[in-house]
Structure 1
Amino acid sequence: MRTTLAAAQDSPNTQGHGSVPPAPQQVEERRLVFEGFAYTCRIVHQEAPTTAPLVLLGGSSQNRYSWQGHEKWLAPLCTVVTVDLPGYGTSDFLPARYGIDFLAGAIRHMLVECGMPQVNLFGGCFGEVVGLRFAQLHPEFVRRIVFCGAAKRLPAIYTDAVPRLAHALGRGEIEEAADGLVRLFMSNPGAGKVRKHAAVARLLQQQFVNQTPDEIKKAVEHNTRLMTHGCYEPLPVPDVPSLVFTGEYDSLCTPQMGRELAATMPSARFTTVKESDHLVTVERRQESSELIGRFCTDRPIDDLPYCNAVESLGAGAAHATACR
């Protein structure tokens, strides 16, 4: 376990709705073992939180450090937890025979070990897949849910691309595979204006090209895991405040896919963030952080200048409409 002290962060820009004063934060890293597989979580402690701890589950190419840029706006509100689950980041390799239920179990293990009986849960892209299964299997831990770039089915462009990407990686054609991954995650430049599109594309390309052999091995196994086990089970979802959002030009997990997922959740709302695509949390880091933070502290999210209309699409809302 490693513990360090971080300097106080700047308070978030709350678009004229007041600000949260920053407080000193203690950063802790914990090495844990779940059913024989070692993994690591990162905890940014907030001594004066305004809401429950926030667990951030990122995409398959992200690790526990990928969210440090968001801490500037989120850490003043609450304790923030990121994690390299087994099979990802610097944690132990996890064979593909271990599916999404196993990863959900690892999250439960982490929360028990860290003494967090209830959390606000965020899941982006693959993090939504794991987060949703965790919420379905262990609802007692979940106070609020926020999902981004989410879907209840594997996108056709993903299932079509996986064999080509695996073949390229198997031949050692890293640049070709990186090109394919960038095209997969980012919208076509002609689809509409996306903030920092070119810069984020370059960043992704560099990240993919510079993967270590261990990271490539884990990436291949990740794709095998998803293709083998799928991404969704029609299990009950806890009736807690929930939000699903994505970039308005998301071409991987499209806005319609997000709406479909939100419609299966009892109390879900849905919106899209302007001038962004699947990588909205990178392209519009401050805005997406504020949206998450506002929702997790029960502040209004309607009429935010960077969001399109907020829709009520949860299963509960659909039932109420049908009963009118």
Structure 2
Amino acid sequence: MRSALTAAQNSVEERGLTFEGFGYACRIVHQSAPRTAPLLLLGGSSQNRYSWQSHEKWLAPLCTLITVDLPGYGSSDFLPARYDIGFLADAVQHMLTEIGVPEVNLFGGCFGEVVGLRFAQRHPASVRRIVFAAAASRLPDPYTDAVPRLAQTLERGDIEGAADGLVQLFMSNPEAGRVRRHAAVARLLQRQFLTQTPEEIRKAVEHNTRLVTHGCYEPLPVPEVPTLVFTGEYDTLCTPQMGRELAAAMPGALFTTVKEADHLVTVERREESADLIARFCTDRPVHGLPYCHAVETPRAASAAAPV
């Protein structure tokens, strides 16, 4: 007898779409007997719609999974930096409308959180639950400091130097604390950056320009839905404190850190991060998990603090 996972994997749909003249693509792993709403996975700027395949064995049995290369990313059309985060958020809503999905559990990791939060703010009726990872409500200082250097390095054609800089930016110093698979993930990132095509590099440069030009956060209302924010305990890019700040800006949001992980928590601890996402999206407990530190409610703690 085929397992639910095998059945889900055998029902994969690729869709080509166009929004405001820009072509883009999404991938749908259908689940015929879902336990929760479809899960929309918005990954980081260096990830594409196939980057979450390694998580499918834990997530696909629970619900339909949706991943997307938005305009300007992955295999989709190049998107000039004058198009801001709101444009990308509206492209997400366009995709959901086109594929006939009225409501999703929303996951956003790193840059995916930036787009996901704007999407939730602009289209709150489309969001049932929110999970953000390795996230912040402001651009990290190490990122804004690194962008001009990385741009200059790429302009010189020094791809190896840019790859070294990006690995250092995304990953914690090995002396910060024990991180699972740190060396292996560093090699994976290095190889990924070194093998980028000229078009991928062009998109990466435009991505950085877009973020620095438009910023990542607008103080718009956030839907009051169940929300979880988490990051690796040694995340030096979007630090745990920055994650707490984001959670404090969202009604009733929970926050936790995953042990032995840094900014790339969903890569370093795939099974654990998938379990955390799955638990939250199916209303199972996320307190007391052996791979997480204590779950906090930053907004409540801030309100209770003495003035």
Q: TM class, shorter-chain normalised?
A: over 0.9
Pick from 80, 84, 92: which aligns with 2:77? 92
Counterpart AA for 2:101: M
Contact persistence 2:248–2:302 (CA under 8 A)? no
Pick from 220, 224, 237: which aligns with 1:252? 237
2:26 paired with 1:41: yes
* Structure-2 separation of matches of 1:89 and 1:83: 9
2:295 paired with 1:310: yes
Shift of 1:312: 1.0
Shift of 1:267: 1.8
2:10 paired with 1:24: no
2:250 paired with 1:265: yes
Q: 1:50 to 1:98 in 2, by over 3 A?
A: same
2:282 maps to 297
* Structure-1 separation of matches of 2:102 and 2:87: 19
Higher helix share: 2
Q: 1:93 to 1:303 in 2, by over 3 A?
A: same
Partner secondary structure for residue 32 of structure 1: strand
Pick from 196, 202, 207: which aligns with 1:222? 207
Partner secondary structure for residue 57 of structure 2: helix
Deviations 1:202-231 (A, max 9, x none): 000000000000100000000000000000
Partner secondary structure for residue 154 of structure 1: coil
* Structure-2 separation of matches of 1:113 and 1:242: 26
* Structure-2 separation of matches of 1:8 and 1:116: 26
* Structure-2 separation of matches of 1:236 and 1:282: 31
2:7 paired with 1:54: no
Structure 2, gaps ≥5 residues long = none
- Percent sequence identity is 76
The within-5 A match list for 1:1-324 is 22=5, 24-25=7-8, 26-314=11-299, 317=300, 321=304
Deviations 1:185-210 (A, max 9, x none): 00000000000000000000000000
Partner secondary structure for residue 271 of structure 1: strand
Deviations 1:265-311 (A, max 9, x none): 00200000000000000000000000000000000000100000000
Q: CA RMSD in A?
A: 1.5
* Structure-2 separation of matches of 1:206 and 1:318: 42
Provide the aligned length of Structure 1 versus Structure 2: 304
Contact persistence 1:49–1:79 (CA under 8 A)? yes
Partner secondary structure for residue 162 of structure 2: helix
* Structure-2 separation of matches of 1:137 and 1:126: 17
Partner secondary structure for residue 292 of structure 1: helix
Q: What TM-score, normalized to structure 1? A: 0.92
Partner secondary structure for residue 55 of structure 1: strand
Contact persistence 2:5–2:57 (CA under 8 A)? no
Shift of 1:54: 0.2
Partner secondary structure for residue 310 of structure 1: coil
Counterpart AA for 1:295: F
Partner secondary structure for residue 237 of structure 1: coil
* Structure-1 separation of matches of 2:204 and 2:303: 43
Deviations 1:54-110 (A, max 9, x none): 000000000000000000100000000000000000000000000000000000000
Shift of 1:318: 5.1
Q: 1:319 to 1:181 in 2, by over 3 A?
A: closer
Partner secondary structure for residue 48 of structure 1: coil
Partner secondary structure for residue 117 of structure 2: helix
Partner secondary structure for residue 40 of structure 1: strand
Deviations 1:35-71 (A, max 9, x none): 0000000000000000000000000000000000000
Contact persistence 2:276–2:286 (CA under 8 A)? yes
Q: What TM-score, normalized to structure 2? A: 0.97
Contact persistence 1:149–1:246 (CA under 8 A)? yes
* Structure-2 separation of matches of 1:247 and 1:273: 5
Contact persistence 1:23–1:46 (CA under 8 A)? no
Partner secondary structure for residue 26 of structure 2: strand
Counterpart AA for 2:76: S
